[in-house]
Structure 1
Amino acid sequence: MKENKVIVEKLNELLADFQIYYQNLRGFHWNIQGKEFFELHVKFEELYTDAAMKVDEIAERILTIGGTPLHSFEDYLATAQIKPVKNVHDGVTSVKTVVANLEQIVAKEKEMKDLAGEANDGGTEDQMSALIEEQEKTLWMYKAWLK
């Protein structure tokens, strides 16, 4: 089924973005410095723990619909739109990067939701709806922190 192949491809793109987002969060967690250290160190851990769970759910969805999830960093780097960041130590830059990464992910999820709807793939459509709702709230909170 052609639609299924496209959905698997797009889910793998989302998976790759989540993996780079996850690794960015790990770096922020490890390297954060300054007055926001205690607050953001914990928040970044919450975010990367959640991202790891979502990575697993997306990979399982790919398998459920007959695809093969990407599973090497080489593939993630070649596929992801989100770019790795290095040596970020300050809270504002870290949070701005989190917001930018999440905005890219939510945009991809909305695209996936529409694509899944057109292909009558209710499972993927529902999964994307749940992700979008949760991450839009997360975006709102981190944007509020930046003000």
Structure 2
Amino acid sequence: MNKKIVDKLNVHLADWNILYTKLHHYHWYVTGPHFPTLHAKFEELYEFAADALDELAERILAVGGKPISSLKQYLDQTLLTEAGKESTDEEMLEAVIEDFRKVSEGLKKTSEEADEAGDSVTADFLNGHVEKLQKQIWMLTATAKGLPVKA
């Protein structure tokens, strides 16, 4: 077990947990003319986040680490911010795009470090998550083109 890699995986786990909660918040609170589309999309995305966080926790366990599992730990370790400041559908969509970009960049860096540490399986695992995030970023950015969002 490489403690440095496990620590970084736990940061990513915290990010996915924050995203899961944030996407639920957006699903519940989105309003406006794009409600039907974004309400359904945010539900799809919180399910996507739930799958990602479960897979990540299982990867941490598989390499001999211990996944963090409390709300306090998630908040202490995340690189993201909680939801709450966003009040419009455009602000919510913009926040998700930005968060997905941050998470993708972090996963890429950790993948490179895992590869350098000789853990190509973890590197491949993380690259798979980056690929899924890049697809979501593309889809969300395409959605945002019709909205006043900095996509």
> What residue is the counterpart of 2:129 in the other structure?
131
Distance, in Å, in 2 between the alignment partners of 1:134 and 1:67 is 24
> What residue is the counterpart of 1:65 in the other structure?
63
CA offset digits 1:40-73 (Å, max 9, x no partner): 1100000000100110000001011111000001
TM-score, with normalisation over the residues of structure 2? 0.93
| Letter of the 2:134 counterpart | E
Aligned-pair Cα RMSD in Å: 1.0
| Letter of the 1:26 counterpart | H
Higher normalized helix content (fraction of residues)? 1
SS in 2 for 1:17: helix
Q: Does 1:116 align with 2:114?
A: yes
TM-score, with normalisation over the residues of structure 1? 0.95
| Letter of the 1:90 counterpart | T
Identity level (%) = 38
> What residue is the counterpart of 2:149 in the other structure?
none
- 1:88 Cα deviation after fit: 3.3
Q: Which runs of 4+ in 1 moved over 6 A?
A: none
Q: How does 1:1-147 map to 2 (within 5 A)?
A: 4-86=2-84, 88-147=86-145
| Letter of the 1:101 counterpart | D
Total equivalences in the alignment: 145
Distance, in Å, in 2 between the alignment partners of 1:63 and 1:111 is 20
Structure 2 gap ranges (5+) = 146-151
| Letter of the 1:72 counterpart | S
